[in-house]
Amino acid sequence: MKFLGTVSKINYDGKLIVRGSFAPNPRDRIVDNRNKPVGQVGRVFGPVDSPYILVRPNGKGGMLSLIGKQVYIEEVTYNAKGKRRDRRN
């Protein structure tokens, strides 16, 4: 787990806004300090030094309790397939 930042507020449509310490990749998984899934990175915007991250939550319940809490990125290795054109011998 890598520290992402703290949840600053909830958007009008239920998405979390996190004040981050770095810019994560899109669709990275966000977890709390107990390693429970919170959501996915939707969008990164704002200043380069400490960007804001829009997090799409997994569920609607209990989002108010996350305000002011620290969230982390679950580090996952991506194993993507190569281009199909290169697989021919």
**Predicted local confidence at residue 76, as pLDDT:** 74
**Predicted local confidence at residue 89, as pLDDT:** 54
9 half-sphere exposure, CB direction, 13 A CA radius? 3
CATH topology of domain 2-77: Thrombin, subunit H (2.40.10)
* CA distances (Å), origin 58, targets 15, 72, 78: 10, 15, 21
Could you state, in order of their start, the residue ranges of all structural domains in the chain? 2-77
**Predicted local confidence at residue 88, as pLDDT:** 57
Question: What pLDDT tens digit does each residue of the chain (89 aa) get?
Answer: 899 999 999 999 989 999 999 999 888 999 999 999 999 999 999 999 999 999 999 976 778 888 999 999 988 776 666 666 655 55
Joined tokens for residue 43: 């969008």
DSSP strand pairing (29-31 vs 16-20) = unpaired
